[in-house]
Amino acid sequence: MSLVHNAHLPIGVFDSGVGGLTVLNAIRQRLPNENLIYLGDTARVPYGTKSASSVTRYAEQAAKALIERKIKMLVIACNTASAVAIEPLQYLYPDIPVIGVVGPGAEASCDATQSQHIGVIATEGTVNNQAYQNAILKRLPSASVVAHPCSLFVALAEEGWHTGDLVKQIVETCLEPFKREDHSLIDTLVLGCTHFPALKNVIADVMGDTVSLVDSAETTANAVASRLEAGQLLNMKALKGDVQFLVTDGPTRFARVAQHFFSDPIPASEIQLVDIQHFAH
């Protein structure tokens, strides 16, 4: 059956843990009538410290688990997995749209910049594999791209430390490289980790009004909406879609940390524990 006739099917979203909930939340706000399934591979978080081959294998297993639940679109809500696994997943699943967070974020930064000087903050793994740098330069070859790791932001976001003097001091210290004379020309900063939108307000305060922030969660949600509309896959039947949560370990901790990333409380009793490691291609 054509997917056009299956517009009621859910969108599958996966991440290594809880950070991808910012993407899920953005999709839910942008498309409140869509049904959603979120899979957090919490048994193997973080992906950023793993090899590309391992991350690709994990991503394929997460995707297979979601595909078996009958989804109409796959969203890779993890920057590391988006960087290394989007092409393999698009090859494996040619019949459904597969969207990652890197492409939409890079495109939005190219649209936003006036000076063509773009900054990127992400985890060390994402910075080192140059996913955003390459994606931006592919779209805007004349751009100057500076990327710096801000891995400490992940811990701040997960612990709910989003405001206050101490948080601002930490953010200022981590963003200090962008204040150097050779980096101070950036007018656009990409939040290249799905945890970072939780700190968006304090990052904006530190960077100032002259720097536009690109939220990869919001840009991915817009890309999802565009692809669904183009493929006539928007769910027009529901007024409010259902959301299911799957994790590979620690549903209680996931529920506790999720409150910092998702708009509604997620009871641990409503989180399904799944084993995805037996899936292989």
Residues ≥6 apart with Cβ < 8 Å to 18: 40, 42, 158, 254, 257, 258, 260, 261
> Could you tell me the two tokens for 220?
């991915």
C-alpha triplet 106, 23, 196: angle, nearest 5°? 70
C-alpha triplet 65, 69, 73: angle, nearest 5°? 90
Residues ≥6 apart with Cβ < 8 Å to 226: none
> Residue by residue, what is the 3-state secondary structure of 29-90?
HHCCCCCEEEEECCCCCCCCCCCHHHHHHHHHHHHHHHHCCCCCEEEECCHHHHHHHHHHHH
Rounded CA-CA distance 30/14 in Å is 18
Q: Where in the sequence numbering do the catalytic residues fall? A: 78, 193
**Which is it for the CA torsion 185, 129, 157, 111, positive or negative?**
positive
